[in-house]
Structure 1
Amino acid sequence: MEDLEAEAFLADKAHDTNELLVMFKEADIATVIPPVKRRKEQRAYSHELYRARHIIENVFRALTRWRGIAVRYAKLSGSFIAAIHVRCLYICL
């Protein structure tokens, strides 16, 4: 993760560790991780960006509901990407 270039890192409470927070602070990457309840100092995070993470996770869940993508029946990467595109179009419509 040393070569990671991003503006923000979105994750759930399971990734709320001091080591991870320090690493992203040194890399000048904003962290959007809600603090766990047992943390003494509750820090602020962007609720709008965290909602975006939820939407992305819902799209991945909808993609894996299609058995062809979850099991990856397509052996060629081009066919697999095409199946993902078809499923995304189905989700959008």
Structure 2
Amino acid sequence: MFFRRTVIGDRGYDSNRIRRSLVERNITGCIPSRKSRKSKPSYNWHLYKKRHLIENMFAKLKRLATCCDQIRLVRPAASPGTLVSIMNPLTSPPESG
């Protein structure tokens, strides 16, 4: 199976230098052009719209890491059950005993 290498970037990565570098490496760029750009290169709009899924995944990982750091600061010997109950709000916290 053949996979095409693609870079999905936001408008901040729209420069001739970056686009030239991608072409030299046979990488497809999915970067919308800045509003002030006179020549607007085409890009895959549907693929660009799926970019938010990747951003959401990193946001969730960052939130989880922050949550784990706070647990470590408050209760250094937190049990794995405590972490599961924080990650899944439908479960009740484990009984301490």
Question: Match for 1:24: what amino acid?
Answer: L
- Segments of 5+ residues of structure 2 without an aligned counterpart are 73-83, 89-97
Contact kept in structure 2, 1:15 and 1:33, CA below 8 Å: yes
Given the alignment of the two structures, is residue 17 of structure 1 paired with residue 36 of structure 2, yes or no? no
- Segments of 5+ residues of structure 1 without an aligned counterpart are 1-5, 74-85
Equivalent-residue separation in structure 1 for 2:18 and 2:25 (angstroms): 11
Shift in alpha-carbon separation, 1:64–1:18, aligned structure 2, 3 A: same
Larger Rg: 2
Shift in alpha-carbon separation, 1:61–1:21, aligned structure 2, 3 A: same
Structure 1 counterpart of 2:46:
48
Structure 2 counterpart of 1:80:
none
Question: Match for 2:19: what amino acid?
Answer: L
Q: Percent identity?
A: 31
Secondary structure at 1:48 match in 2: helix
Equivalent-residue separation in structure 1 for 2:31 and 2:11 (angstroms): 6
Structure 1 counterpart of 2:62:
64
Deviation at 1:26, TM superposition (A): 1.1
TM-score by length of 1: 0.63
TM-score by length of 2: 0.61
Shift in alpha-carbon separation, 1:30–1:69, aligned structure 2, 3 A: farther
Shift in alpha-carbon separation, 1:68–1:48, aligned structure 2, 3 A: same
Match of 1:29 among 22, 27, 30: 27
Q: Which moved more, 1:8-17 or 1:62-71?
A: 62-71
Over the residues paired in the alignment, what is the CA RMSD in angstroms?
Answer: 2.5
